[in-house]
Amino acid sequence: MINVPKQRWKTERNKDIFSQTSFKRLKEIPNKLYKFKIFKKMSGQKTELLRFTTAGSVDDGKSTLIGRMLYDSKSIFEDQYDAIKIASEKKGEANVNLALLTDGLKAEREQGITIDVAYRYFATPKRKFIIADTPGHIQYTRNMVTGASTANVALILIDARKGVVEQTKRHAIIASLLQIPHLLVCINKMDLVEYKEDVYDQIKADFKEFSSRLDIHDIEFIPISALVGDNVVNKGDNMPWYGGSSLMYYLENVHISNDENFIDCRFPVQTVIRPMSDEYHDYRGYAGRVAGGVFKKGDEVAVLPSGFTSKIAKIDSFDGELQEIFPPMSATILLEDEIDISRGDMIVRVNNQPNSTQDLDLMICWFDETPLQLNGKYTIVHTSNEERCMIKEIQYKLDINTLHRNEEDKEIQLNDIARIKIRTTKPMFVDSYSRNRITGSVILVDEKTNATVAAGMIRG
Amino acid sequence: MSSYYLNHLKELESEAIYVIREAVAQFENPVMLFSGGKDSILMSYLAKKAFFPAKVPFPLMHIDTGHNFPETIAFRDKWVADMGAKLLVGSVQEAIDNGLVQEETGIHASRNGLQTAALLKALEDGKYDAAFGGGRRDEEKARAKERFFSHRDEFGQWDPKNQRPELWNTFNGKKNFGEHFRVFPISNFTELDVWQYLKEEKVELPSLYFAHTRKCFTRDGVIYSDSDYMQRKDTEELKDMKVRFRTIGDMSCTGAAESNAETLDDIIAEVSMTRVTERGTRSDDKRSETAMEDRKKQGYF
């Protein structure tokens, strides 16, 4: 038997979910107790950081969902709530517009859209979360790409009434291109389809069929109602047929400790630390952040591009000597031999080295209003290294709604995704993006305007 | 399960150190803004970590409104001396005396807004091409959109609609002559993270953050400390109150909160239970809905 939802979804977007009965119930949970639990658990120092990205546009319920997650984890403060309430009233809106919480800029609030990436924070007893909240419309592809670049999880929202639409596909394609390790598909507004299992099953099947063409390894599906709260934090009684976990349970438990590459040792040198003091007269430390693999004292290493080899004499930090370092730790490496090393060099293991090449095959997202120039010269930034490059070939433009490869139209404009070939002035030391998101990515910078014009992911 | 695991505070620390090192490598003449508040204490502490065992390779700069709490100034001088860093002071009083800015008058007068002019002048005089700031994205809605490396034009202005995309951890600090960057290493720390980290690391803090008794009065729901810099209305009565400050700015715009939190543990418990943002006690943010965005566009930190 199907439970009839207690209230219907109104057609105006972002209405006052706080006045809904389910929220009122939540308000009765003593705030203090819940918050105190977070504090106690966090002091235990076992909280991981999980970054996830959401993309969405008007009406898909994204703001309501984020509002609910923030509210349920007690991350919306009273004065924030009061401020948006006053702002909503001023604009003559009948209900409190929760989008005002996430839309930070004046232009965004005026137009009622999210333009930029906004970062939101909340914590539960298990994890601390950073949400990169991005707009979903195609004209903001570059913002979605930006938000996706550091995410562990991509949260994709589907309106249960509409099923898999163009925007769903676009978000999934971006998640696949940017190699977000985990994809979570939330089928929202289940209350509006009477919580029917077959609606959920059909959408799931449609999505799976489409995503089989993508490079995504871990996909989960959850039927939710952000408005009523089903399967958001608690499972609720409306979908007894659903045996999986709630959204919050998923976010708290998805296995992210293998998202980093612990195999290929990569340490891009950011700067050289030379105290030149009496106490540290001959100290020469290479400061950086581990981009891959595990480095230990005594390891035999090679330094690129010179190729000289040495051993790690010491791994240093303010907190004392470290026995081993791994991503994403910042540290300082000291070598046994005196080798000339500077910013842009990379310390790697002798028997596991990145590709050395001047020819790169890239998938790029174009960020600039001036189109990509074939044979144009740009600055290419890869970890701490920087060279110049020339665009040798534009292979195709990817339609990010259909995955169609367009080999005719090679005019690459703002927000376009394309596959290109470039040649650099000097060899670069790179991995494929699918192997390492740090050493497999580059940005292109316009030499005249200094603008970041493209993000590139290395193929191969 | 992998044993290579970093808890969230260590990961945030590593990220901040990475950002600070990156800025020092990319810019010729950086400076770190230092207010004496917990965020700039945290940021300068992380800078110390980033370059250990060398000294921090840039000076600290304090924009002094002349309306600071005496405790802040005393702490600042001790902290900077302990760090072995150079301290520069940009003076709002001087900017007023030179006619660069005009002092606000009336009962709500504050020098908060005047800091922008003094800051931009100090950056220009010192030819600094990057200024580290302790801004955090959880503080305020305009700050939620801020980049780690934030470009400012030759007038020191922020253009929020034309920010450079920031992907992975690749930062583009390229600029034309006369332009500069603001760099925000602790962007991803929340207020609670800051306190937990400072506690973990046993970092020394100004006494203002801990509950103490002082003479206060209440205006528009905000508790202010009695000071020479603020005019009181006849109806605003002075009372002895047990308070602490959640943020430290000018005496004329920083409100106190009634509190019994005398230790860092008490503060963490209080912060994790509170229902009001820390900037809820700042009258400078209450001037209008977009007060922070408007000030940031002009070059405020």
Three-state secondary structure of A296-360: ECCCEEEEECCCCEEEEEEEECCCCCECEECCCCEEEEEECCCCCCCCCCEEEECCECCEEEEEE
Residue A41 pLDDT more than 80? no
With CB atoms and an 8 Å threshold, state whether A316 touches B272. Answer: no
What residues of B are in contact with residue A441 (Cβ under 8 Å)? 167-168, 170
Q: Are A427 and A453 in contact (CB under 8 A)?
A: no
Question: Which range, of A295-309, B111-125, B166-180, averages the lowest pLDDT?
Answer: B111-125
The candidate with the shortest Cα–Cα distance to B69, out of B44, B38, B35, B39, is B35
Instruction: Estimate to the nearest angstrom the gap between the alpha carbon of A98 and the chain centroid.
Output: 23
With CB atoms and an 8 Å threshold, state whether A42 touches B192. Answer: yes
Cα–Cα dist B45/B186, whole Å: 11
pLDDT, position A285: 96
With CB atoms and an 8 Å threshold, state whether B54 touches A277. Answer: yes
In B, minimum Cα distance to A100 occurs at B141
What residues of B are in contact with residue A48 (Cβ under 8 Å)? 5, 7-8
The CATH code that applies to domain B8-194+290-298 is: 3.40.50.620
CATH of A355-458, one of 3.40.190.10, 2.40.30.10, 2.30.29.30, 2.60.420.10: 2.40.30.10
Give residue-wise pLDDT tens across range B10-53.
999 999 999 999 999 999 999 999 988 999 999 999 999 999 99
Confidence of residue B119 (pLDDT cuts 50, 70, 90): confident
Look over chain B and give the mean of its residue pLDDT values, rounded to a whole number.
84
Backbone phi, psi, residue A39, to 5°: -60, -45
Question: Which range, of A261-275, A402-416, B43-57, B229-243, averages the lowest pLDDT?
Answer: B229-243
Segment A277-283 shows an average pLDDT of 88
User: A132 or A13: which carries more pLDDT confidence?
Assistant: A132
Return the exposure string of B44-56: e unless at least 16 CB atoms fall within 10 Å of the residue's CB, then b. bbbbbbbbbebbb
Give residue-wise pLDDT tens across range A359-386.
999 999 999 999 999 999 999 999 999 9
pLDDT, position A437: 94
The candidate with the shortest Cα–Cα distance to B27, out of B131, B157, B120, is B131
Hey, what are A277's tokens?
A: 């003091």
Other beta carbons within 10 Å of A3: 14
Q: How far is A326 from chain B (nearest CA, A)?
A: 7
With CB atoms and an 8 Å threshold, state whether B54 touches A455. Answer: no
Confidence of residue B188 (pLDDT cuts 50, 70, 90): very high
Hey, what are B291's tokens?
A: 């007060």
A153-159: strand order across its sheet: A118-123, A127-135, A48-56, A153-159, A182-188, A218-223
What residues of B are in contact with residue A79 (Cβ under 8 Å)? 276-277, 280
Complex ipTM value? 0.87
Residue B184 pLDDT more than 90? yes
- Which of A76, A134, A258, A289 would you mutate first to test chain B, the one with the most B CBs within 10 A? A289
- Which of A46, A364, A443 would you mutate first to test chain B, the one with the most B CBs within 10 A? A443
What residues of A are in contact with residue B174 (Cβ under 8 Å)? 379, 445, 450
Backbone phi, psi, residue B278, to 5°: -65, -35
Question: Which range, of A21-30, A189-198, A226-235, A261-270, averages the lowest pLDDT?
Answer: A21-30
Cα–Cα dist A124/A39, whole Å: 9
With CB atoms and an 8 Å threshold, state whether A146 touches B167. Answer: yes
Segment A283-294 shows an average pLDDT of 96
Other beta carbons within 10 Å of A85: 17
| Residues present in chain A in total | 460
With CB atoms and an 8 Å threshold, state whether B273 touches A31. Answer: yes
Question: Which range, of A117-121, A216-220, B47-51, averages the lowest pLDDT?
Answer: A117-121
Q: How far is B287 from chain A (nearest CA, A)?
A: 12
Helix/strand/coil for A286: strand
User: A58 or B238: which carries more pLDDT confidence?
Assistant: B238
* Percent of chain B residues past pLDDT 70, beyond the cut: 86
Domains A266-349 and A355-458 share a fold: yes
CATH of A17-253, one of 3.40.50.620, 3.40.50.300, 3.65.10.10, 3.40.50.970: 3.40.50.300
The candidate with the shortest Cα–Cα distance to A223, out of A200, A243, A241, is A200
pLDDT, position A13: 36
Of B8, B55, B145, the CB nearest to A128: B8
pLDDT, position A320: 94
pLDDT, position A274: 94
Question: Which range, of A24-28, A299-303, A451-455, averages the lowest pLDDT?
Answer: A24-28
Cα–Cα dist A89/A85, whole Å: 6
Q: Which residues contact B215 (CB under 8 A, 6 or more apart)?
A: B225, B226, B238, B239, B240, B241
With CB atoms and an 8 Å threshold, state whether B18 touches A367. Answer: no
Helix/strand/coil for B116: helix
Give residue-wise pLDDT tens across range B197-252.
999 999 999 988 999 998 888 888 788 888 777 777 888 888 888 989 888 877 77
Give residue-wise pLDDT tens across range B132-165.
999 999 887 777 888 999 998 888 788 776 788 8
Of B54, B141, B275, the CB nearest to A274: B54
With CB atoms and an 8 Å threshold, state whether B17 touches A128. Answer: no
Of A32, A80, A150, the CB nearest to B277: A80
Hey, what are A403's tokens?
A: 């995955």
pLDDT, position A224: 93
Map out the domains of chain B as residue ranges: 8-194+290-298, 204-284
pLDDT, position B276: 63
> Which of A111-125, A318-332, B230-244 has the highest average model confidence (pLDDT)?
A318-332
What residues of B are in contact with residue A105 (Cβ under 8 Å)? 141-142, 145, 160-161, 293
pLDDT, position A253: 93
Cα–Cα dist A230/B120, whole Å: 51
Alpha-carbon distances, residue A395 vs A419, A420, B150 (angstroms): 5, 5, 34
With CB atoms and an 8 Å threshold, state whether B2 touches A120. Answer: no
Look over chain A and give the mean of its residue pLDDT values, rounded to a whole number.
84
Hey, what are A178's tokens?
A: 């940017």
Confidence of residue A34 (pLDDT cuts 50, 70, 90): very low
Residue by residue, DSSP assigns A201-214 as: HHHHHHHHHHHTTS
pLDDT, position A37: 47
Question: Which range, of A4-13, A14-23, A152-161, A277-286, averages the lowest pLDDT?
Answer: A4-13
Task: Please report the number of interchain residue pairs, chain A to chain B, with beta-carbon separation below 8 angstroms.
Answer: 202
Residue A211 pLDDT more than 50? yes
pLDDT, position B111: 67
Question: Which range, of A26-30, A234-238, B271-275, averages the lowest pLDDT?
Answer: A26-30
Q: Are B173 and B164 in contact (CB under 8 A)?
A: no
Residue A17 pLDDT more than 50? no
Residue A322 pairs with which residues in a beta bridge?
A315
What residues of A are in contact with residue B165 (Cβ under 8 Å)? 142-143, 145-146, 367, 452, 455
Give residue-wise pLDDT tens across range A156-209.
999 999 999 888 888 899 999 999 999 999 999 999 999 999 999 999 999 999
Give the pairing type, strands A218-223 and A182-188.
parallel
Asked if residue A5 has a cis previous peptide bond (ω within 30° of 0), the answer is no
Segment B258-273 shows an average pLDDT of 85
Of B8, B168, B293, the CB nearest to A106: B293
Map out the domains of chain A as residue ranges: 17-253, 266-349, 355-458
* Percent of chain A residues past pLDDT 90, beyond the cut: 59
**SS3 sequence, B12-37?**
HHHHHHHHHHHHHHHCCCEEEECCCC
Residue A330 pairs with which residues in a beta bridge?
A289
CATH of A266-349, one of 1.10.4190.10, 3.20.20.70, 1.25.40.10, 2.40.30.10: 2.40.30.10
Of A48, A128, A438, the CB nearest to B169: A438
